[in-house]
Structure 1
Amino acid sequence: MKKLLLALALSTAALLPAASALAADLDVPPPPTEELRQSTYDWTGLYVGAWVGATCIDGTLTDNAGPTDWEMSGCGWKGGALAGYNHQFNNFVLGLEADWGTTGNIATNEEAGGDFAFSMDHIATFRGRWGVAFDDTLLFATGGVAYARGDLDGINGAATPDHIKGDHWGWTVGGGVEHAVTDNLRLRLDYLFTRFKGDDYTKACCDVSVHDFDDHEVRLGAIWAF
């Protein structure tokens, strides 16, 4: 009996190294930690970008030589650049953003005595932003002040003036969605409503009043985050 027990003990001891080696072969190594993406995107930091979009305005102007009122409504394109800074608190994001852009002809009128085209050489906003982050996607609202340098070309009066300029101040509100494609590259789709104050467009030949008008714009932007 003692010889049998001794033989079993020796056999078990001989098998232990082989069993350990087999168990080691069955272990699956964990993935390298350096290849794992962070679970939460960090929205804090500076960024710059560019945007293009469509814009529509709704307003009227008065040729004071008549006086005659003309509709100043239509749609066109916009494009420009932006820059800003975000700071993230848990899932909430607060920030400041400024942008600048220019437009093509937005409102045109081909009626006799009121043949004109209206565009904006410069349009800029300075806005606050606040939103909620869902990892690498941000839903946000925005609001602030706006400025535009208007260009009125071709309204008929005593003569046909060439590009009369005017200044418009206003306020703007809107919102949108932004998504991080990579850690640095983000894409954005947003909407802004702007209410501009009117201004007088005067030249030696003419005196025209552009009244308060509304501006609706939808923009697609590409942003580089630092």
Structure 2
Amino acid sequence: MKRLLLAGVALSVATAASAADMQARPYTKAPPAVVSPAYNWSGFYIGAMGGFGWETDAGSGGFGGGTVGYNWQLPGSQFVFGVEVDAAGASIKDSFLVDVGVTQENKTNAFGSVTGRAGFAVDAALLYAKGGFAWANAKTSFTDGVITFSDSQTHTGYTIGGGLEYLFTPSWSAKAEYMYTSLGSETYKFDGQPLDSGSFDFHTIKVGVNYHFR
């Protein structure tokens, strides 16, 4: 009887120990995974662009040129920062009569900018704003049909705007962009006579393609 009692106690102890071992271990939640954007915009790029421009109260016309820039995107972030330089030949012009038989023509021959960019990337799409230094070479002429006086000057100022760029392959992107440009006054000389041009501004809508070096 004593042996049976001891055996029963031993069996109870063993069963209790086994049950303790079978208790569930505390559950530890795994840290959330960091999801990186599918595309990374970092690196140098070069491209071509063109479009249409118009002055606020004067002429209009087309332009075409090129772009070079660099983007920087922190891994795991959707924010993109960069710098961009562009330049274009243009034919934005306006002409009107200033006196009997005398016509004045104002023409923007070329313009460009050096800007900083800041954008937000959603995979292959980049929505951005940009702004910085701008310049334009302009020419003013007076003619009566026989004699013409003209002078060209380079104006400087600022530009600001933004656009949307889309990577349609890992290395090629297309963009559409609007920019507002404001430039300061310069003094033109016609037959030795100085004439202050006054400040002027113009707007541009451009489209372009960029090649990204990976």
| Fold conserved between structures, TM > 0.5 | yes
Identify the residue that residue 131 of structure 1 maps to in structure 2.
119
Unaligned runs of 5+ in 2: 1-35
Query: What's the offset of the Cα at 1:57?
Result: 0.8
Identify the residue that residue 204 of structure 1 maps to in structure 2.
191
Query: What's the offset of the Cα at 1:204?
Result: 2.3
Query: What's the offset of the Cα at 1:155?
Result: 5.0
Identify the residue that residue 142 of structure 2 maps to in structure 1.
154
Identify the residue that residue 185 of structure 1 maps to in structure 2.
172
Unaligned runs of 5+ in 1: 1-37, 60-72
Q: Which of the residues 96, 118, 135 maps onto 2:83? A: 96
Aligned length: 174
Query: What's the offset of the Cα at 1:93?
Result: 0.2
Alignment check: 8 A CA contact 1:119 1:152 kept: yes
> Structure 2 CA distance, aligned partners of 1:114 and 1:147?
29
- After TM superposition, list the pairs within 5 Å mapping 1:42-191 onto structure 2: 42-58=40-56, 73-89=58-74, 90-111=77-98, 112=100, 115-155=103-143, 159-161=147-149, 163-191=150-178
> Structure 1 CA distance, aligned partners of 2:160 and 2:47?
20
Alignment check: 8 A CA contact 1:126 1:145 kept: yes
> Structure 2 CA distance, aligned partners of 1:131 and 1:113?
52
> Structure 1 CA distance, aligned partners of 2:105 and 2:70?
36
Query: What's the offset of the Cα at 1:183?
Result: 0.8
Alignment check: 8 A CA contact 1:57 1:107 kept: no
> Structure 2 CA distance, aligned partners of 1:105 and 1:121?
7
- Which has the greater radius of gyration? 2
Query: What's the offset of the Cα at 1:153?
Result: 2.7
| Residue identity (%) | 29
Query: What's the offset of the Cα at 1:104?
Result: 1.0
Identify the residue that residue 4 of structure 2 maps to in structure 1.
none
Q: Residue 43 of structure 1: SS of its match in structure 2?
A: coil
| CA RMSD after TM alignment | 2.1
